[in-house]
Amino acid sequence: MTDPSLPEELTGWWRIVDTETWVNDGLDILGPALISFTGDDDRLRMHCLLATVYPRPTKTGLSFRWRGAWEYDQMTGSGSARVGKDGRLRGTIRIKDGDSSSFTAVRAEPPTSPIPDPPSYQDKWRRW
């Protein structure tokens, strides 16, 4: 189900193809680097980050909060995004008390299998 309050041009799945600060070489280590803005269990996956995304509309696009884990380290952050004249999504992802980076994404199809929930810190010790 799509959230009608989100701008239509931003709604859907986006494939992250470039980041300014973080090396692009490992973007797809957990699978294709994706972010979704549908208003229904939105997700972010890139590098070793799995997160749940909470978008909301703004005058120029949308802003979002996210909560997840980088490997097994719990973290949160925020971001913003808008569609450029070339149809690409351009935005910023910020890690609370950490780095931030701009990113570029292109339209994508939803993944064939769901992006998993972020692991908890306790999961780190359960895998052994």
Angle subtended at Cα 50 by Cα 45 and Cα 54, rounded to the nearest 5 degrees: 85
Beta bridge partners of 54: 65
Whether residue 103 lies inside any domain: the answer is yes
Q: Residue 2: pLDDT above 80? A: no
Whether residue 29 lies inside any domain: the answer is yes
Predicted structure pTM score = 0.90
Nearest to 93 by CA among 18, 39, 7, 41: 18
Q: Residue 66: pLDDT above 60? A: yes
Whether residue 42 lies inside any domain: the answer is yes
Whether residue 118 lies inside any domain: the answer is no
Whether residue 56 lies inside any domain: the answer is yes
Q: Is 118 helix (H, G, I), strand (E, B) or coil?
A: coil
CA–chain centroid gap for 86, Å, is: 20
> Strand 62-70 to strand 42-46: parallel, antiparallel, or no bridges (unpaired)?
unpaired
Q: How many domains does one find in the chain?
A: 1
Average pLDDT value for residue range 45-62:
95
What b-and-e string marks burial along 64-96, b requiring 16 or more CB atoms within 10 Å of the CB? bbbebbbeeeebebebbbbbeeeeebbbbbbbe
Average pLDDT value for residue range 31-59:
95
Q: Residue 25's domain spans which residues?
A: 12-109
What is the structure's pLDDT at 71? 87
